[in-house]
Structure 1
Amino acid sequence: MFSPSDPPRAASATGWATRLYEATDEVVWAAKLNLLWLVFTLAGGVVLGIGPATLAAYTLARRRARGETFQSWPAFAAAYRREFGRGSLIVLPLAGTTVLLVVNYFYFASLGSAGTGFRLATFAAIVAVVVVAAYLLPMAVHFDLRTLGYFPKASLFALTRPAATVLLLFIFTAVVYASATFPFLVLVIAIGGWIQLDTWLCLRFFAENEARLQAKGLS
């Protein structure tokens, strides 16, 4: 004979099983998105591939966050072809600036105390680029703007939503730290996981901002 507490326990077990399945599904998806990004970036010779691969990854991450169903490889290939030109125009300046700043940071760090001021200024610039990119890339697949229009819009959003900005920066730092500690994560899940989480959060930030503007009659 079952006691009265058995049905709630069964329901609780079912709930845990559902959450575990959903969490596992998200991890598998992040790993798949990571693989897609790597394969298509390499297919473009890295320099020509990183732009369209990044926007294609954000496109699929947006579709996933909105609950759409699709075949990942054909959908990624279609987005990659569609974003080949625009992806390079958006992503390459961000990537080039980041690489240059990181190289300068380590150079100034090698100077010791003499380069402290320049090192801190460079670090602040790196943080600024990371924050702008965290908003800009989801915006690029969510809003229909001129290509150059995304940069000031992302910068303004970062300045006017400090709490959201700090959250994104914290998560990015955690991903970078985990990847530096366990480098194999970059090849397995780190990139795809960051893209999906960044997109998921930014879509909610954008929706909250639109609702706030509508409430004020500004949209």
Structure 2
Amino acid sequence: MDTNWAGSIMQMLDKAVKLVWMNCLWVIFTLIGGIVLGVMPATASVSFLVRKMIKNEEIENVFQEFWKYYKNSFKSSNIIGLSFWVVGLFLFVDITFLIQMEGMIAKVLLIGVFVLLFVFLGVLLNFFPIYSRFEMKIMEYIKLAFVMAMTRPVTTVFMVLWLCVVTILSIEFSVIIPLLFNVLIILGINWLSIVRIEKKDYELISYNK
């Protein structure tokens, strides 16, 4: 029993070290890609590795597997990322503009934009688990991410809430940012995807492959 207990502790420590190393690689390769071109393939690479960890698949060399997936996903993830950047910038400008306006119409429009922001976050968060699992045409990733965000609103809400929780914790405990910020977000959304989507709605995912 003592041996099993010690083995479990060692496995937990090994996973913790790998998670920190993944987050460091995410920061490094996001900067290497000039942030704009680095963030999507770096995030996709972390999602791929985290997914393997959740499913208890062996990760022999974190750097080698990260680098391999980063290279393979660089072009396609950035093409998709361009659409996310454009929509995100559009929503940011709209919110910034409407907050400064007064009147009922501005408030109604602001509520509408916040609804669109929630949908945008839902599609973005659902995208990475899908991208790390399936091989599809570029537009099919966005289509399936949108379908999952809209047809599974409870899971989408949990994903957005998890994003908020990790962000708040990171503001309170800034040490999380360089060590685990991105990895914790991806860990949560991949776990939700596997547990709440794939096991219950495999037929829907298979249909949209």
Answering whether residue 43 of structure 2 is matched by residue 51 of structure 1, we say no
2:157 corresponding residue in structure 1: 166
Contact 1:32/1:192 (CA < 8 Å) preserved in 2?
no
Which residue number in structure 1 is paired with residue 114 of structure 2? 123
- Identify if the C-alpha distance between structure 1 residues 105 and 213 changes in structure 2 by more than 3 Å, giving closer, same or farther: closer
Alignment length, in residue pairs?
A: 204
Please, which runs of 5 or more residues in structure 2 have no aligned partner? none
Give the alignment's Cα RMSD to 1 decimal: 2.9
User: Is 2:25 the counterpart of 1:61?
Assistant: no
Stretch deviating more after TM superposition (55-64 or 180-189): 180-189
Distance 1:103 1:185 in 2: 29
Q: For 1:98 and 1:212, how far apart are their aligned partners in 2?
A: 27
Deviations 1:146-177 (A, max 9, x none): 11001121111222223222222221221232
Matching residue of 1:149: 140
The residue type paired with residue 199 of structure 2 is A
Q: Which moved more, 1:160-169 or 1:109-118?
A: 109-118
Pairing 1:207–2:204 present? no
* TM score, norm. by length of structure 2: 0.82
Aligned to 1:78: 68
Unaligned runs of 5+ in 1: 1-9
Partners in 1 of 2:175 and 2:98 — Cα distance?
A: 28
Assess if the C-alpha contact under 8 Å between 2:18 and 2:62 holds in 1: no
In structure 2, do the counterparts of structure 1 residues 212 and 90 end up closer, same or farther at CA, with 3 Å as the change threshold?
closer
Q: Aligned partners of 1:100 and 1:179: how far apart in 2?
A: 26
Which of 161, 172, 178 pairs up with 2:169?
A: 178
Comparing 129-138 and 178-187, the one that deviates more: 178-187
* 1:113-171: CA deviation from partner (whole Å, max 9, x where unpaired): 56322322221111111111111111011112111001121111222223222222221
Deviation at 1:187, TM superposition (A): 2.5
- Tell me the equivalent position of 1:132: 123
Amino-acid identity (%): 22
2:189 alignment partner in structure 1? 198
Q: Measure how far apart 1:211 and its partner are.
A: 6.2
For the pair shown, which has the larger CA radius of gyration, 1 or 2?
1
- Following TM superposition, by how much is the alpha carbon of 1:180 offset from its aligned partner in structure 2, in angstroms? 4.0
